[in-house]
Chains A and B, each alone.
Chain A
Amino acid sequence: MKFRKDRDILRLSSGALLLIIACGIMLGFTPDYSYFGIGFALLLMGIVAIVAIVVAAITPEEYLIQDERSAKVEEKAGYHAFCSLLLMMALLQAIGCIWGLNFNFKDVVPDLFIVGIWSWIMLRWYYNRRGDAR
């Protein structure tokens, strides 16, 4: 396993480390934990960033090239994921109207978010495998 150490990886790693240091300062120098929420969020962001950077650093560079095919696949997957999200919202609204459910969209926002992200990931995988020639 080769670990790339190019400029982008180093720049992003230092950004992630800065986030974690900022979190340490916030949590360490505020005895009453008044900034606990922000500090914890920064720590979480730093950890997620470091995991993403490690994954990017061990991925061969050729897989990270954004060529016309990958751009097309992402665009198509994003468009169809958005359409499926709209369809899902319309269906929920229709079900709510027909059965007279007192439906509030605020309650299902996390579920819709998950549906959107999953649709995008699955569609991207599918279009990436299928090719687009007819």
Chain B
Amino acid sequence: MSDQQKILEEVTGSEYKFGFTTDVEMEVAPAGLTEDTIRFISAKKEEPAYFLEWRLKAFRHWKKMTEPHWGYFKYDPIDYQVQSYYAAPKQMPKKASMDEVDPEVRKTFEKLGISLQEQKRLSGVAVDAVFDSVSVGTTFQKQLRDVGVIFCSMSEAIREHPDLIQKYLGSVVPYSDNFFAALNSAVFSDGSFAYVPKGVHCPMELSTYFRMNAQNTGQFERTLIIADEGAYVSYLEGCTAPMRDKNQLHAAVVELIALDRGEVKYSTVQNWFPGDKDGKGGVFNFVTKRGLCAGHHSRISWTQVETGSAITWKYPSVILKGDHSHGEFYSVAVTNNHQQADTGTKMQHLGKNCKSRIVAKTISAGKSNSSYRGLVRVAKNADNARNYTQCDSLLVGDKCGAHTFPYIEVKNKSAQVEHEATTSKIGEDQIFYCNQRGIGTEEAVSLIVNGYCREVLNQLPMEFAVEAQKLLSVSLEGSVG
């Protein structure tokens, strides 16, 4: 075995770094999924009646649907009756300040390198921390409230802002949309809600750190972000999950809405447990993310850096409904060992003079498979639609695969749709060149990979770009030409 191969094996075989669990007393719903489960969740969360009704409708619809298996990956059918659908740390009544949060919970967050302490204020990030299913602490609420921004947990929004919830929740991703969206609508336990009112430029990056902790609980969070007319908001989602033997199901729904001249930027850094090096365990990440450019001159942009999960099934999309609206999708997806990712985007051009841009970079290493699946659809009345798509694949080693499935449907003659795709390998020449300058092979791969992803990383807010860069280095540090 060559040195480079050895390093590759070592690194790609490295253990997941965030595999620790927190010892807190949990309140867990009995396993299984019936209407009673949903009533239990709804009651636990003290939801108004209107919301329970919505959940039940979703559940009844879900029962009629079948699990989709068209993605470019394989998994055994999931038994939805053995999972528990609700887990919350006990001794939980609302905290007046961060100091009251269970020290064990706080330690977990600290290990992840996020601090809920006051120092966080200095970096200007408001964190709504989701620990398993319940939001344990929300910072900065007051500063945000002063400018009229609502940023709170979804449970709170359901209780406190029923008008906004009833108007917008499910308006972009209806519960009938797909199997996992329906499941999410029925059982979701928490998530984040943000509303930025007319003309307000949200003064800080909003952020949530998700973490799955209890065994055998799926996490189904639900996020809704609304930028009203002329408003701007940037939202960051970061995720880590501790090591688990059994696959954990994660089926989130994220909805973004931008009204006239409104703008939403949504950034994700995801490093959920990908399973061990033999492909055992890991998170199933089946997520529906969609944004609606509802108003004219509105903009929605998705940026994602995905290094985790055993299986990723995720297509953050934009519906360009308002005239002159913009949709963007920037993605880096890294797969290693036995990970499988089928991810991409959909850009639906409905309004006139809309533009969309897709930059998707996949990196495959180990025995993994990574697929880009993207749809660009231009409707009959969507005059002057412009789309630019760039898909690049980087292969590390010779046992992995990269696949591209672009779909283009154009029904309007004035459309201009461009698609570029490249596949490359990290070259021995590149590695040797770095080596000759005193840069070791692991460091060289990290440098080359970060260079390859730069266009996407540049879209992330500064501190998250740094974190993402570190994540990439951890995920695959060695390589062969």
Q: Do A and B bind each other?
A: no
B interface vs A, CB < 8 Å?
none
